Chain A
Amino acid sequence: MNIDKRLVRKDSLEKLFDILKQNSKKIFAPSTKNGKISFRDAEKFSGIVTGYVQTSQSSKEVAFPRTEKIFDYSKSKDGMSVKGIDLKDIPEVILWGVRPCDATGIGELSSVFNWDYKDEIYNNRLSKITVFGFSCNNSDEYCFCTSVGGNPGNTEGSDILFTQTGENSDYLAEIITEKGLAIVSLAPDLFEITNNIEKNKFLAKVPVRFNHEEIKEKLDKFFESKEWIEQSLRCIGCGACAYVCPTCACFDIQDEAHGRKGSRVRCWDSCGFSHFTLHTSGHNPRDVQSQRWRQRIMHKFSYMPERLSVYGCTGCGRCSRACPVDMNILEHLISIQEVTV
């Protein structure tokens, strides 16, 4: 479908929010707590923050919750009954304020959940999400979307992409999908016809820092490099990078029991943990942190492009911001590019 461009007045955003609320839509939007901006169920428009470079957690949790029930079971004298989650119960959600890097991340998550076997729980959640992308007017030194094929005004993954045309100005709305069109039809008056607005000049300038295809080629012969050991020496093996990442999809499956009832849940896990690959026998294929750090980078920049035809990184820079010991993925990728094999 052709991208339809409209103008949304600055003060129309609140009206749009109210109309969506009146249509009993659930809206997840960035709000602040403890100085961290995250996507939360938004009751009022006034609670939504703007002007942030990046939310501290990605929006992936709405499509791929940190803990999600797969089914309930109950045991009785007559046997066992198991009841899967009702996909109809998954609510329709509007994700408001998603940065283009997060929006593209949804596509990368989808490729993990849909290569070969199709994960219907994930797909169902996804089908009920409408993504309101907001282009970036600002960036910081951790951003590198342009190095992995994205850009601050990328329409990929968004259903509607809003770009603010200057500080305190009106928004250019690009209606990208049918879902986006459905939103417009709820408040057609707010989306005004406009002449062609040159969007690029309002976007943040994010310099290209490396060539992802070159990195991929390099990595093919880089497995045994000592660079992994050097880079990972200060890594303390927590899962912060994976849990804030918009594309990390590794998970664990756990049972939770209470008496004769219980449920099986799927929850996030991270390749950074030493127990991630530990066998019951005590053998651990990725025994030291350098192997786990290598796995993280190789998975995103070598294995995923090869197996799933997408890169596992959108350049949002969250992992670098969240890392307690300043493992900066951009810096490490650049040094991989520079090191001679």
Chain B
Amino acid sequence: MMDNLYMPYLMRIERITYEAPGVKTFMLRFVNEADQAKFSYKAGQFGEYSVYGVGESTFCIASPPTRKGYIECTFRQTGKVTNALSGCEEGSIIGFRGPYGNIFPIDEWKGKNLLFIAGGIALPPMRCVIWNALDMRENFKDVTIIYGARTVKDLVYKDELKDWELRKDVKLITTVDPGGESPDWHGEIGFVPTVVEKIAPSSKDTIAIVCGPPVMIKYTFPVLAKLGFADENIYTTLENRMKCGFGKCGRCNVGRVYVCKDGPVFTLAQLKELPDEY
């Protein structure tokens, strides 16, 4: 029989991590080892996760391709499918198809500084790249991560943030929105764009990767421009509604671009070519 594009792999939920209110990370393993053997992906790609009988939802693969044998996804419980996913227990079977989309050109970045800027639930797509880079740390110069969330509670991957904070080869700056701090908060207080401006990372030989809610992205780009980042050196991902993931269902178009095929990773230079429909 020919391959059915829409047929998901069966995945077993191996571990569920509670990240923040409404946010969970699933560690998934392939039920059939043969599927695992032929599966490979790169940083930046996404998949369609499904609860049988409920539907499919699109999010990135949050674990780096350098860690083999499993994939992880992090999602916030908001819609029909993420609510159903949230109700799944360890050991449950869910569906996954992918990987889809383009990749962060991490190999092209070798020898450069990396600046990661993320807000809220947008750290997961970036986590894949961060770990990918850290797993081949010797290839890059300075690695800076600026991560902000609304409140301290909303910061995801709290354990990993601690790891990164302790690492000598990573500069981590965390921030929360004013009013979102807890009494023992020792990070920054302020919106991500403001913090970026304050930290003022050098644009020399640096690639900036920005992920976050549209409003954060909108105000961060001008700051980066002021710091001297060229549009070609700023990367982000677009999150449009998708159904198929492979350029057929017609939902994710931004102008002539299919976010699912030509994206989700775009440079700011590419974004500027696109109509404002994302």
Contacts and interface: CB of A to CB of B under 8 A. Distances in A.
State whether these chains interact: yes
Interface of A: 70-71, 73, 75, 79-80, 82, 84-87, 112-113, 115-121, 124, 223, 249-257, 262, 264, 266, 269, 271, 276-281, 283, 285-286, 291, 295, 298-299, 302-303, 306-307
A43 B192 CA distance: 68
Given A70-B7, A285-B240, A285-B277, A87 B2 contact: yes
A117 B246 contact: yes
11 contacts: A117-B248, A118-B5, A119-B5, A252-B243, A255-B51, A257-B52, A262-B53, A264-B50, A271-B250, A276-B251, A285-B240
Contacts of B78: 280-281
B253 interface: yes
B6 A266 contact: yes
B110 interface: no
Contact of A252 (B82, B93, B249): B249
Contacts of B7: 70-71, 82, 84
Contacts of B56: 253, 255
Given A80-B52, A82-B7, A116 B247 contact: yes
B249 A255 contact: no
Contacts of B52: 73, 75, 80, 82, 255, 257, 262, 264
Contacts of A262: 52-53
Contacts of A298: 255
A97 B254 CA distance: 37
Contacts of B241: 276-279
Contact of B55 (A116, A118, A223, A254): A254
A253 B244 contact: yes
Contacts of B247: 115-117
Contact of B6 (A70, A115, A257, A280): A70
B93 A255 contact: no
Nearest to B4: A84
Interface residues of B, number: 43
Nearest to A223: B275
B256 A303 contact: yes
Given A80-B10, A285-B240, A299-B253, A120 B277 contact: no
A252 B258 CA distance: 16
A249 B244 contact: no
Interface string B158-176: 0000000000000000000
B4 A120 contact: yes
A206 to B, nearest CB: 28
B136 interface: no
Nearest to B12: A79
Given A80-B10, A84-B4, A253 B256 contact: no
Given A253-B55, A276-B251, A303-B255, A264 B246 contact: no
Nearest to B254: A285
B254 A117 contact: no
B1 interface: yes
B137 interface: no
Contacts of A118: 5
A28 to B, nearest CB: 24
Nearest to A73: B52
3 closest residue pairs by CB, A with B: A257-B53, A250-B250, A280-B79
A306 B5 contact: no
Contacts of A283: 214
B138 interface: no
B261 interface: yes
Nearest to B239: A279
Nearest to B55: A255
B33 interface: no
B250 A299 contact: yes
Contact of A70 (B4, B31, B249, B251): B4
A80 B93 contact: yes
Nearest to B249: A251
B247 to A, nearest CB: 6
Contacts of A120: 2-5
Nearest to A265: B6
Contacts of A116: 246-247, 261
Contacts of B243: 251-253, 269
A23 to B, nearest CB: 26
Contact of B277 (A281, A291, A307): A291
